[in-house]
Amino acid sequence: MTSSPPSAHWSLIIIGTGFAGLSLALQRMNGRQEDFIVLEQAQSPGGTWRDNRYPGCACDVPSHLYSLSGAPPWDWQRKYAEAPDIEAYLAHLAHSLGSRIRYRAQVTSASWQAHKQLWQVELNDGSCLTCRFLVAGVGPLSEPAWPDFPGVENFTGPLLHTARWSKNQDLKGQRVGLIGTGASAIQVGPALAPEVAQLIIFQRTAPWVVDRKDHPYTPGIRRLLRTSPFLRRAYRTWLYFTRELKGLAFLRPNLMRKIEAYVRRDLTHKVVNPRLRQKIMPKTPMGCKRILLSDTWWSTLEFPHVTLETDPIHHIEATHLVTETGTRYALDALVLATGFRYQDNPMARLFKGEEGITLEEFWKEQRSAYLGMMMPSFPNFFLLTGPFSGLGHNSIVFMIECQTRWIQSALAHVAALGKSEFKVRAQAYAAFTNEMNRRSKNSLWMQGCQSWYLDPEGRNTALWPGLSLSYWWRTRRFNAQDFEYA
């Protein structure tokens, strides 16, 4: 990779080379607005698709939808791409940005300099950059959650987190414990099962899992999708609206209950072992956590060398995991599929707005961001995929593209005014937060599940409480009156 020119001041700095950072950088590049740089802490691009290397890692949104709308076509080989293919796609996009990306550039702090109307960005190599506008595309699900089980430090075998998998990890023929039954677990479990001697899965909450119906595309379909922009667009639109229609169930609990009854019946037919069926039948309302997609999860649980343990974990010893009722499992390796620190993501300590206040301090009462992007004490600063802009039912790349287009219009508006600084008005921020709280109140996510969507007060602060189409509507133009300028 080439290194960027040694300039210290930029009009815009973008942090991160996942979908979010690359989407904005490519829009600017294509618009010949080239006074920007992208900082990436790793030595290659890809964000979450670079970091999540566990076996079986794939996307549960079809790739023709989970890709940038304006980017050149990519020859997706199957409906749901595997992580290495998505990483290769992102690397290909990043390549076109050339020296605009500076790798191994980890941001250690970014602070607003009010007197200069600039952001000062410090890097791990001691260098310091400044910029007028700062965009954080650092990913809300980037920091793994390592649960603090008593005695875990004494475990002598490999302790692997799905989000920090080392490339050459070989678990063949071993006795493996897998903690968690979320989106990562239902992918890594079926991928590990055929090669390990024993797989003990520790389930705290039974998830809702429905068929993914994954399949490879035939060479003919691939060729058509590669060569015909019309078919590509039509397929993407169809994928988008079918997901959007399913999203209606999140707004209509009666509809979700009908789907729930259907999935229960389906599960009763599919899983013949009554003891296993009882363990996996979800006790929580469908949709209150992410609905998981898998073609292999239920069948994996029926393998003779796979055990689903629902007794809570009590403690961990050098070579054993012990449950609350005293069952002892001898294990050679432990896999933690225990998710991410969303509500207490340490990245919130990096950014310091007016009067040195950190995002973490600013969010003490509640995590929020106007349209999922801006906070009042943080002028000229945008978060991508911030609070209230996650999605459970459709492609997050759609939300990202709404955001990057909105940021482009915001920057154009500020430039047209001849101003150097702008920030969201406190009233507009408060009104948005109140609206999000009100709309989330009766949502399925707040019906008794524990999940990363909810803050310690049990409020949704992660997901957009509506269809993604309504987010597009809200971000289609920049509401100039919601901002102060200087």
**Binding footprint of ligand NAP on the chain (CB under 6 A):** 59-60, 141, 147, 162, 179-185, 204-205, 290, 313, 337-340, 450, 452
Instruction: Give the contacts of 29 (CB within 8 A, at least 6 positions apart).
Output: 96, 97, 100
SS3 300: helix
- Judged by beta carbon, residue 329 or residue 452, the one nearer ligand NAP is 452
What are the distances in angstroms from CA 103 to CA 18, 463, 471? 13, 31, 32
Residue in the structure block whose two tokens are 């942090």: 15
- Judged by beta carbon, residue 268 or residue 450, the one nearer ligand NAP is 450
Alpha carbons 70 and 384: distance in angstroms, whole number: 18
Q: Minimum distance from CB of 164 to ligand NAP (Å)?
A: 12
Alpha carbons 356 and 307: distance in angstroms, whole number: 51
Maximum CA extent, the chain: 69
Q: Minimum distance from CB of 139 to ligand NAP (Å)?
A: 10
Q: Minimum distance from CB of 417 to ligand NAP (Å)?
A: 38
DSSP lists the bridge partners of residue 383 as 136
Q: Minimum distance from CB of 338 to ligand NAP (Å)?
A: 4
- Judged by beta carbon, residue 147 or residue 229, the one nearer ligand NAP is 147
Q: Minimum distance from CB of 186 to ligand NAP (Å)?
A: 8
- Judged by beta carbon, residue 206 or residue 224, the one nearer ligand NAP is 206
What DSSP line would sit under 366-378, residue for residue?
----BTTTB-TTS
Percentage helix, strand, coil for the chain under 3-state DSSP, each rounded to 5: 35, 20, 45
- Judged by beta carbon, residue 53 or residue 419, the one nearer ligand NAP is 53
Q: Residue with the closest Cβ to ligand NAP?
A: 182
Q: Minimum distance from CB of 37 to ligand NAP (Å)?
A: 28
Q: Minimum distance from CB of 83 to ligand NAP (Å)?
A: 9
Q: Are 483 and 425 in contact (CB under 8 A)?
A: yes
Q: Minimum distance from CB of 425 to ligand NAP (Å)?
A: 31
Q: Minimum distance from CB of 284 to ligand NAP (Å)?
A: 9
Give start and end residues of each alpha helix (H) in 122-252.
Answer: 185-192, 219-227, 229-251
- Judged by beta carbon, residue 61 or residue 101, the one nearer ligand NAP is 61
Q: Which residues of 414-438 are buried (b: 16+ CB within 10 A; e: fewer)?
A: beeeeebbbbbeeebbeebbeebbe
Alpha carbons 293 and 290: distance in angstroms, whole number: 9
- Judged by beta carbon, residue 273 or residue 450, the one nearer ligand NAP is 450
Instruction: Give the contacts of 33 (CB within 8 A, at least 6 positions apart).
Output: none
SS3 31: coil
Alpha carbons 266 and 260: distance in angstroms, whole number: 10
- Judged by beta carbon, residue 60 or residue 332, the one nearer ligand NAP is 60
- Judged by beta carbon, residue 45 or residue 339, the one nearer ligand NAP is 339
